[in-house]
């Protein structure tokens, strides 16, 4: 009897599991490559906060220079090496810090961090959907964001310094290494990072739009949507409309920088 009972319980338990897929998840699928909108929202939040601290630490350094232009800060040399020789911030690296600080704050914290975190967390909850329209795209969107953050962070540590032409990267200053050293490899990495960033923004945006249009619960008409969801919705539409244009421009620009030598070589071969 006892054996039968436990078997029965076990079977029931098993039944439960087949109904709720979410229970048998490994650490990898639950916390790293999660397709759950709440976890992805947290991933966005944590990544954006880390980037925000990174950006803040940069602004601390360049504001020290602004506030106390005559003072020498000995710790700068140990902190940023050759850019802080003798405790004075290098003028070129000052520009680089301002540029990367601006980029991080505008794109990674305000655009990616806020929209990625709150759209992901709140849209399904407030429209009454189980999850986003595509959990997989959502996961992909976060990992493109992560990749973009990683490339941008990496670009700070290269020898010629990161992009330094201001976060608006107006050419020709940002396009020609002759104009400033940061416009070489630093700018290329900046462009690559931004291409990844825009891909994540597009994937996220399409997902938010689909969820708001298609996955509202019964009775939740567009006019009854909370204002927050309307705000996310419009933000996503604007992003999807504008970012492809920027992506195209950045893609061509970065490919001319990255692939220029390859193409020139091919043309050379054809001509010969």
Residues that bind other proteins (CB under 8 A): 31, 42, 46, 50, 78, 81, 91-92, 95, 98-99, 157, 164-166, 170, 172-173, 176, 178-181
Cβ 180 to other proteins shortest distance, Å = 5
80 or 194: CB nearest other proteins: 80
Cβ contact 183:164 at 8 Å: yes
DSSP secondary structure letters along 48-65: HHHHHHHHHHHHHHHHHH
- DSSP E strands, 80-222: none
2 or 159: CB nearest other proteins: 159
What is the number of other CB atoms lying within 10 angstroms of the CB of residue 267?
10
Cβ 166 to other proteins shortest distance, Å = 4
164 or 192: CB nearest other proteins: 164
34 or 207: CB nearest other proteins: 34
181 or 205: CB nearest other proteins: 181
Q: Cα separation of 81 and 84, whole Å?
A: 6
Q: Which two tokens stand for residue 123?
A: 């849209």
Cβ 117 to other proteins shortest distance, Å = 15
Cβ 141 to other proteins shortest distance, Å = 20
135 CB burial (10 A radius; 0-12, 13-18, 19+): middle
180 or 192: CB nearest other proteins: 180
Cβ 174 to other proteins shortest distance, Å = 9
Cβ 158 to other proteins shortest distance, Å = 10
How far CA 92 is from CA of 30, 51, 98, 158, 163, in Å, comes to 44, 22, 10, 14, 10
Q: Among candidates 117, 115, 128, 118, which has minimal Cα distance to 211? A: 128
Cβ 201 to other proteins shortest distance, Å = 23
167 or 251: CB nearest other proteins: 167
Q: Which two tokens stand for residue 71?
A: 């003072």
Q: Which two tokens stand for residue 127?
A: 């429209």
Cβ contact 203:137 at 8 Å: yes
H/E stretch holding 215 reads none
């Amino acid at each position: 009897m006892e054996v039968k009972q436990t078997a029965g319980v076990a079977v029931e338990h098993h039944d439960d599991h087949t109904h709720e897929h979410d229970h048998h998840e490994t650490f990898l699928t639950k916390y790293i490559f999660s397709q759950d909108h709440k976890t992805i929202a947290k991933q966005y939040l944590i990544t954006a906060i880390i980037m925000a601290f990174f950006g803040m630490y940069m602004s601390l350094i360049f504001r020290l220079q602004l506030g106390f232009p005559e003072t020498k800060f000995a710790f700068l040399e140990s902190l940023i090496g050759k850019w802080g020789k003798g405790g004075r911030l290098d003028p070129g690296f000052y520009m680089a810090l301002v540029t990367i600080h601006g980029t991080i704050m505008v794109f990674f914290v305000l655009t990616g961090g806020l929209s990625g975190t709150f759209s992901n967390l709140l849209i399904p909850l407030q429209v009454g959907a189980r999850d986003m329209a595509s959990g997989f795209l959502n996961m992909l969107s976060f990992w493109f964001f992560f990749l973009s953050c990683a490339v941008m962070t990496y670009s700070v540590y290269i020898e010629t310094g990161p992009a330094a032409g201001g976060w608006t990267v107006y050419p020709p200053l940002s396009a020609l290494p002759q104009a400033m050293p940061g416009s070489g490899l630093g700018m290329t990495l900046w462009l690559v990072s931004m291409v990844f960033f825009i891909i994540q923004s597009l994937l996220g945006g399409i997902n938010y739009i689909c969820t708001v249009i298609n996955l509202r619960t019964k009775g939740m008409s567009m006019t009854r949507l909370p204002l927050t969801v309307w705000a996310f919705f419009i933000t996503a539409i604007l992003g999807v409309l504008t970012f492809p244009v920027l992506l195209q421009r950045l893609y061509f620009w970065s490919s001319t920088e990255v692939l220029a030598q390859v193409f020139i070589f091919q043309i050379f071969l054809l001509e010969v």
